[in-house]
Amino acid sequence: MWLDAGFAVVEVNYRGSTGYGSAWRDAIEGRPGLTELEDVAAVHDWAVSSGLADPQRCVVSGASWGGYLTLLALGTQPGRWTAGVAAVPVADYVAAYEDEMEQLRSFDRALFGGAPEDVPEVYRECSPLTYLDNVDVPVLVLAGDNDPRCPIRQIENYLDGLAERGTAHAFYRYDAGHGSLVISETITQTAIEVHFAMRSVGLA
């Protein structure tokens, strides 16, 4: 659908993913989000320099961890992105830790080097909420009311921050959890994402 709408789509296999050994997989420990975005920036530079991407029309998009990286990219890489589309993201990492399921708290402690009270500066540095003042492009967020992985309260905190700053944004909220298994809902959400991106880059 993105291709049919006129977008070139690039999916970045950044550090933290599997397939390149344990050092590659574990490279994000202690600095999650920011490490992956170094790789995203390198790919963005390539896409622009190769002529694949128009630097004035680059949309960063993702879901779950990709949604987290999308919001973090908008705040830490201003000037690279024309808009952001984040589905079921982590937006306020401390609030997310407080509300998420226990298995994910254990994962986060391993990833960050402790709980928020143990390493507060790491959570602050790696949380999209920290960089709200830098977000100056339109943002679309999609989230479910009953998400145990990326709970709704921490997303609302981020959206409230955008509203306070007068940053253009849209919010699609649905009655499900971490995504939807209903095909019609998936189609609806994808259409909302693509049309938002098209409007943001002047294609609609």
Question: What is the residue-averaged pLDDT of the chain?
Answer: 97
Per-residue pLDDT tens over the stretch 89-146: 999 999 999 999 999 999 999 999 999 999 999 999 999 999 999 999 999 999 999 9
Say if residues 139 and 86 touch (Cβ distance below 8 Å).
Answer: yes
pLDDT at 165 over 90: yes
- Choose, from 17, 64, 136, 195, the residue flagged as catalytic: 64
Inform me whether the pLDDT recorded for 204 exceeds 90. Answer: no
User: Is residue 59 within 8 Å of residue 83, measured between CB atoms?
Assistant: yes
- Select which of 17, 178, 180, 195 is catalytic: 178
CB-based contact 32:96 (threshold 8 Å): no
**pLDDT tens, 95-108?**
999 999 999 999 99
Q: What is the mean pLDDT of residues 145-160?
A: 96
Strand, coil or helix: 144 = strand
Return the structure tokens found at 57.
């029309």
pLDDT, tens digit, for every residue of 35-77?
999 999 999 999 999 999 999 999 999 999 999 999 999 999 9
* Number of Cβ atoms within 10 Å of the Cβ of 158: 25
Annotated catalytic residue 64: yes
Catalytic residue among 44, 61, 108, 147, which?
147
Is 147 annotated as catalytic? Answer: yes
Contact 9, 51 (CB under 8 A): no
Instruction: Return the pLDDT at 14.
Output: 96
Q: Reduced to 3 states, what is the DSSP secondary structure of residue 140? A: strand
Catalytic (active site) residue 195: no
How far, in Å, are 23, 49, 132, 152 from residue 136 at the CA level?
35, 24, 9, 23
Q: Indicate the pTM of the whole model.
A: 0.97
